[in-house]
């Protein structure tokens, strides 16, 4: 049996060290760390951990809200873990041990998953309100405009692209434009090589 710890922090700036230390102190043999929102299921380390699971393994998390922010995702993940013959256990929620399949345990899992989802919704709402206030005060600029063909640097890069003398990678590096932007702009301008 391997104890596989899983950690998620919301941003690259957050430090997962405290969570990692707590999981290792509780016996985690391996710790998987994702630095991204819990609102998305597309987390590379979570996927890796699920792939690595073997029958009898235990997934150890610090708390449910660090594992998933959606009730549906929580249940899907728990079912995937169970299907592999493994179990899920939380340090912050001692009642959460999926080896216990009682109605009370299922009820608590549902309630706490719903609370995580509610918390995520409230965070989004506060964020929207903050952005609206900042816009009214002229402080919110939003996403910077994407590159357009009106930009002289882009025009020259597209000319280089059309000539076909340099690789796309070289042109992108030379003019500080991503390759995907260069391809997109060339397509918009119907420039082929």
- Known catalytic residues? 10
Q: Which strand ranges, in their side-by-side order, compose the sheet holding 87-90?
A: 30-35, 3-9, 58-61, 87-90
What residues form DSSP beta bridges with 87? Answer: 58
Distance (Å, whole) CA 19 – CA 93: 14
User: In angstroms, what CA-CA distances link 127 with 3, 71, 145, 149, 158?
Assistant: 36, 21, 21, 33, 38
Label the pairing between strands 87-90 and 58-61: parallel
**Any idea which residue has 């939380």 for tokens?**
90
Distance (Å, whole) CA 76 – CA 72: 6
Instruction: Round the CA-based radius of gyration of the chain to a whole number and report it.
Output: 23
Distance (Å, whole) CA 165 – CA 171: 10
- Contact indicator for 79, 107 with CB cutoff of 8 Å: no
């Amino acid at each position: 049996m391997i104890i596989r710890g899983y950690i998620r922090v919301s941003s690259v700036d957050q430090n997962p060290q405290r969570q990692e230390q707590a999981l290792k102190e509780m016996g985690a043999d391996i710790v998987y760390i994702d630095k991204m929102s819990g609102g998305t299921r597309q987390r590379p380390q979570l996927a890796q951990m699920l792939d690595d699971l073997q029958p009898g393994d235990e997934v150890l998390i610090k708390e449910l809200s660090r594992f998933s922010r959606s009730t549906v995702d929580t249940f899907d993940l728990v079912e995937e873990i169970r299907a592999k013959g493994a179990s899920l256990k939380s340090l912050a929620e001692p009642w959460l041990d999926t080896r216990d399949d009682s109605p009370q345990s299922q009820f608590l899992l549902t309630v706490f998953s719903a609370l995580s989802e509610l918390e995520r919704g409230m965070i989004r709402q506060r964020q929207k309100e903050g952005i609206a206030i900042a816009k009214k005060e002229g402080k919110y600029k939003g996403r910077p405009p994407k590159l357009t063909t009106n930009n002289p640097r882009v025009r020259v890069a597209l000319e280089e692209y059309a000539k076909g003398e340099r690789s796309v990678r070289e042109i992108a590096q030379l003019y500080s434009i991503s390759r995907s932007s260069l391809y997109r702009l060339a397509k918009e301008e119907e420039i082929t090589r």
